[in-house]
Amino acid sequence: MTTHRFLARPIAAAVAALALSSFAVQAQSPAASACPDQAISPDNLAANPSFELPAVGVPVGEFACWQSGDAVPAQSAAAGWQMHTDNAGSRVCSRLVHSTAPGPGGKRMLAFQASGSESGLVQAQGLDPTKAFMFSVWVLVRSGQVAIASRGMNGGPVAWTTKVGEWEQLRVCTNSLSNTDLLSIYNQAADGGTFLVDRVELREIPIRE
């Protein structure tokens, strides 16, 4: 089984040790999960969803980078989001830049650079595992291919990009049998990639009785 370098806080690392080992398998799943047609909660549960808040000690516009040998955890340039990388400890970088994402949002977005596959951003969530949630993001791929997932164990839904050079919304929805506990946005191209991400949404889906 492959293991991946997860550079977040110790609590989240326990979840990710299982989660990231399954990314390569999950990437073969359907490109988008089925989402219900009923009303979805207006409350966004993601932390720093529009990347407006910079990480402590990382000024807006400056890179936050990590590579093998550096101290951990690896905080991204945005508060509330950690970076992860591959087995080789390939270099990953992020920085906050002016947003160009479509639709309503803030002034900033996050730019990410990956030197290897399965490298990206993660945010641990402590949500009720018996409830269902929608996780969506807007992504613009400059190179490589990006996927998102919201479950820290094998079997959760995955969506991935189909375009390069234009904004695309990715969305996955879980049900009460597939819990949401780790928001993941990652490059899956073997030779690395760069992407922009903004407008993260994490909303509860009411379960019909």
Averaged pLDDT for residues 163-187: 90
Average pLDDT score over the chain: 83
Averaged pLDDT for residues 27-36: 51
CA angle 52, 174, 31 (to 5 degrees): 80
CA angle 2, 118, 96 (to 5 degrees): 145
> Is residue 206 reached through a cis peptide bond, with omega within 30 degrees of 0 on the bond before it?
no
CA distance 55 to 57: 6
Amino acid letter for position 167: W
CA distance 148 to 185: 5
CA distance 40 to 52: 24
By mean pLDDT, which of 52-66, 79-93, 152-166 is the weakest? 152-166
List the structure tokens of 156. 């959760």
Averaged pLDDT for residues 40-62: 95
Q: What is the structure's pLDDT at 179?
A: 84
For CA atoms 97, 8, 145, 40, give the dihedral sign: negative
- 3 state SS of 173: strand
CA distance 11 to 41: 27
CA distance 171 to 31: 9
Amino acid letter for position 77: A
CA distance 172 to 192: 23
- Which top CATH class is 10-205? mainly beta
Q: Which residue has the higher pLDDT, 170 or 176?
A: 170
Predicted structure pTM score = 0.84
Averaged pLDDT for residues 64-91: 90
pLDDT in tens, 109-151: 999 999 989 899 999 998 988 888 999 999 999 999 999 999 8
42: left (phi over 0), alpha (psi -120 to 50) or beta: alpha
22: left (phi over 0), alpha (psi -120 to 50) or beta: alpha
